[in-house]
């Protein structure tokens, strides 16, 4: 298709609101704290936001007191300081909300484990990671900071952040002076107190060491805005936690975290359209992101498949996301919309795009057996879209079952090696079912937590990328699943004319 300049200008007026302003990512160092933050009306209250930024999804990274006082590897600056957090593209946030007493950056949370879920699970207060670390945007433009709730974390370099955390931890454990400063901050003065601090710290350090050196270690850096979430889940569930390093897959397929508005209503989610149930998706994500799980015990009676699953919180966040509106272009910040061009852009969108990208008021599925309808999403073969195919090939095809072999479902039980996908799914399902069983939900509550999706889920389509509604896409650079296109203008020109 030939794309004339007026085609691009009109379409961009419709999608962006403006043909002239193209938002570029601003280096993290140019971000500033809460000064001049502009919130758009996305139908969330300030309390909704504050909770979303910091609620605990059950993740346990490091004891909270250690995290608060940990220094960076090569200096005395605090690891959690605004300057260091911004270095890795986290959005900083002052203390003040009830969910963030210590002014941690958006997406860093406090997880309290008061009761061990299995013999030996560590209790206490921990720093954790939550949805907003990866699913929140700040667009920085001429000194103004426009917050996009539920947008992709397009400055966050998760891989570099975890590796820097690992370096900070190693440096503190090996440099006696650095360790003593930490101990002094935590009031550990006696030799006994210092020894017990060191033991606790060393035990927890192993977690981040595993991530930094295996789970997220790739041949080339992911860079900001790109995370190989699916390999992280696979590695943690099949390799790190059960202690079967042979199952590690190099995470070579980092993707942009998608924006989250309208996702709960969509028939399929994830770039490759692989999940329907919100519980399976959200709990699966936490399995990849520091949620404690017991995959070492011999049998379920000893606590195998126990976890720190935070299902009520995951349910709450899903419901809250279901009422998150796409952001509208703020004309007072980015400039006036040319209404004439926007009108012709809308017609062009209907003609050229809406066949795949379902547009308001959307085409919906027929009601399912619970009477619920979902927004249809386009499922386009990867070979037709022409973007890279690593997503479907990132994890290794077979898994060693190790000591889990006797606790797998009948079709996999007793085998030394099984297909990776089946192995991973069976562990995830066992963890999910055990966590759900403890809640003693009524059938109606269970349906609700599953987003009224029919179980078992229908098989996912093979090797496709999803074309979902893109309302609010103007606010979500960079573009495509792999984040390879820097701005919307370049999305609308032929691939050969894009920056590499
Ligand atoms: C470590 C980063 C990270 C965290 C934390 C995280 N996500 Fe994601 N999320 C991703 C990435 C990356 C993808 C895309 C994965 C893919 O499709 O390959 C994704 C996909 C999704 C999708 C699919 C969206 C769509 O349009 O297909 C939803 C919904 C979602 N996440 C919700 C959540 C929720 C809710 C939480 C917290 C409970 C959460 N995520 C935590 C990185 C993260
Ligand atoms: C044949 C189906 C199809 C048509 C027609 C189509 N798209 Fe897409 N579009 C897709 C798919 C599939 C993706 C995701 C591909 C990927 O990420 O690898 C996508 C991705 C995008 C993205 C990036 C989304 C993001 O969140 O990063 C934008 C923007 C976009 N399309 C806009 C358009 C516009 C504007 C048109 C009309 C000129 C259009 N598309 C026509 C299938 C289509």
- The first and second tokens of residue 237, run together, are 């569930």
The H-or-E segment that residue 37 falls in is: strand 37-39
Helix (H), strand (E) at residue 229? helix 229-235
In angstroms, the Cα distances linking 262 to 33, 44, 71, 325, 473 are 28, 14, 40, 8, 12
CA distances from 103 to 36, 89, 99, 139 (A): 17, 16, 9, 20
pLDDT surpassing 50 at residue 31: no
**Could you give the CA distance from residue 104 to residue 339 in angstroms, rounded to a whole number?**
41
- Probe ligand 2: pick from 7, 351, 464, 470, max atoms within 8 Å of CB? 470
Ligand 1 test: best mutation among 260, 324, 466, most atoms within 8 Å of CB? 260
The DSSP call for residue 230 is H
Nearest to 114 by CA among 60, 43, 68, 76: 60
Which of 111, 183, 145 is CA-nearest to residue 32?
A: 145
Ligand 1 centroid from CA 158, angstroms = 13
d(CA 266, CA 373): 9
- Alpha-helical runs (H) found in 123-218: 158-174, 176-185, 191-210
Per-residue model confidence as pLDDT tens digits over 342-370: 999 999 999 999 999 999 999 999 999 99
Q: Is residue 20's pLDDT more than 60?
A: no
Q: What is the C-alpha radius of gyration for the chain, rounded to an integer number of angstroms?
A: 23
The residue whose CA is least distant from atom 22 of ligand 1 is 270
Nearest to 84 by CA among 104, 99, 64, 59: 104
pLDDT attached to residue 393: 78
pLDDT 10s digits, 434-476: 999 999 999 999 999 999 999 888 999 999 999 999 999 999 9
If one residue of 58, 109, 135, 208 were mutated to test the ligand 1 pocket, choosing by the most ligand atoms within 8 A of its CB, it would be 135
Please give the sequence-ordered ranges of beta strands (E in DSSP) within 47-193, or none if there are none. Answer: 62-63, 108-113, 124-129, 136-141, 144-149
Cβ-Cβ contacts under 8 Å for 249 (sequence gap 6 or more): 231, 234, 235, 394, 395, 396, 420
Please, what is the angle between helix 176-185 and helix 158-174, to 10°? Answer: 100
Which pair of structure tokens corresponds to residue 373? Answer: 């309808």
pLDDT of residue 18: 41
For residue 356, the ligand closest to its alpha carbon is 2
With 50 as the cut, is the pLDDT of residue 282 above it? yes
pLDDT tens per residue, range 77-87: 999 999 999 99
Asked if the model's pLDDT at residue 24 lies above 80, the reply is no
- Name the residue with the closest Cα to ligand 1, atom 19: 257
- Which residue from 80, 87, 77, 78 is spatially nearest to 29, judged by alpha carbons? 87
Q: What is the mean pLDDT of the chain?
A: 93
Mean pLDDT across 5-34: 49
Q: Do 256 and 154 touch, CB atoms closer than 8 A?
A: yes
Looking at the chain, the whole-number percentage of residues with pLDDT higher than 90 is: 90
- Tell me: pLDDT of 336 over 70: yes
Atom of ligand 2 nearest to the CA of 15: 35
Whole-model pTM?
A: 0.95
Domain ranges of the chain: 1-21+227-500, 25-225
Average pLDDT over residues 245-261: 97
Exposure string of 291-318, with b = 16+ CB inside 10 Å and e = fewer, is bbbbbbbeeeeebbbbbbbbbebbbebb
The angle subtended at Cα 436 by Cα 430 and Cα 442, nearest 5°, is 140
pLDDT of 5 reads 57
17, 334 contact by CB (below 8 A): yes
Residue 3 clears pLDDT 60, i.e. is over it: no
Average pLDDT over residues 387-412: 92
Distance 467 CA to ligand 2 centre (A): 6
pLDDT at site 457 = 87
CA dist 397 and 11 (Å) reads 42
Determine the distance separating the centroid of ligand 2 and the alpha carbon of 380, expressed in angstroms.
10
């Amino acid at each position: 298709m030939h794309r004339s300049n007026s085609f691009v200008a009109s379409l961009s007026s419709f999608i962006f609101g403006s043909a002239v302003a193209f938002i570029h990512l601003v280096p993290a160092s140019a971000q500033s704290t809460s000064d001049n933050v502009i919130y758009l009306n996305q139908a969330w209250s300030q309390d909704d936001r504050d909770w979303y930024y910091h609620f605990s999804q059950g993740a346990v990274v490091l004891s909270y007191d250690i995290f608060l006082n940990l220094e960076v590897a090569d200096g005395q600056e605090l690891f959690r300081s605004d300057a260091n957090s911004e270095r890795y593209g986290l959005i900083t946030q002052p203390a003040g909300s009830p969910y963030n007493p210590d002014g941690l950056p958006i997406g860093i949370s406090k997880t309290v484990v008061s009761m061990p879920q299995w013999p030996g699970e560590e209790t206490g207060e921990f720093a954790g990671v939550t949805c907003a670390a990866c699913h929140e945007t700040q667009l920085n433009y001429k000194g103004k900071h426009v917050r996009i709730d539920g947008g992709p974390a397009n400055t966050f370099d998760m891989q570099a952040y975890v590796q820097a955390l690992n370096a900070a931890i190693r440096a503190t454990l090996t440099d006696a002076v650095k360790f003593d400063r930490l101990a002094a901050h935590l009031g550990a003065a006696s030799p006994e107190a210092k020894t017990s601090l060191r033991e606790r710290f060393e035990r927890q350090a192993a977690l981040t060491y595993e991530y930094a050196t295996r789970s997220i270690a790739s041949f080339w850096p992911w860079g900001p805005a790109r995370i190989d979430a699916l390999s992280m889940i696979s590695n943690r569930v099949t390799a790190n936690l059960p202690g079967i390093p042979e199952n590690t897959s190099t995470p070579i397929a980092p993707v942009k975290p998608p924006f989250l508005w309208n996702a709960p209503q969509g028939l399929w989610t994830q770039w490759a359209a692989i999940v329907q149930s919100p519980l399976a998706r959200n709990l699966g994500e936490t399995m990849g992101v520091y949620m404690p799980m017991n995959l070492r015990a011999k049998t379920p009676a000893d606590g195998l498949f126990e976890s720190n699953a935070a299902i009520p919180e995951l349910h709450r966040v899903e419901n809250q996301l279901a009422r998150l509106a796409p952001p509208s272009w703020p004309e007072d910040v980015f400039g006036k919309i040319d209404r004439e061009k926007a009108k012709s852009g809308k017609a062009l969108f209907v003609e050229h795009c809406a066949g795949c990208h379902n547009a308001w008021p959307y085409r919906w599925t027929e009601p399912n057996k619970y009477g619920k309808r979902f927004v249809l999403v386009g499922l386009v073969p990867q070979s037709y879209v022409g973007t890279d195919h690593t997503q479907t090939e990132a994890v290794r095809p077979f898994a060693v079952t190790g000591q889990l072999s006797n606790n797998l479902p009948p079709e996999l039980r007793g085998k030394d090696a099984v297909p990776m996908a089946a192995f991973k799914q069976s562990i995830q399902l066992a963890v999910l079912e055990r966590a759900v069983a403890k809640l003693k939900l009524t059938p109606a509550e269970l349906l609700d937590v599953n987003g009224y999706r029919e179980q078992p889920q229908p098989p996912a389509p093979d090797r496709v990328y999803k074309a979902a509604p893109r309302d609010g896409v103007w606010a979500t650079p960079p573009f495509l699943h792999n984040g390879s296109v820097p701005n919307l203008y370049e999305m609308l020109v032929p691939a050969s004319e894009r920056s590499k």
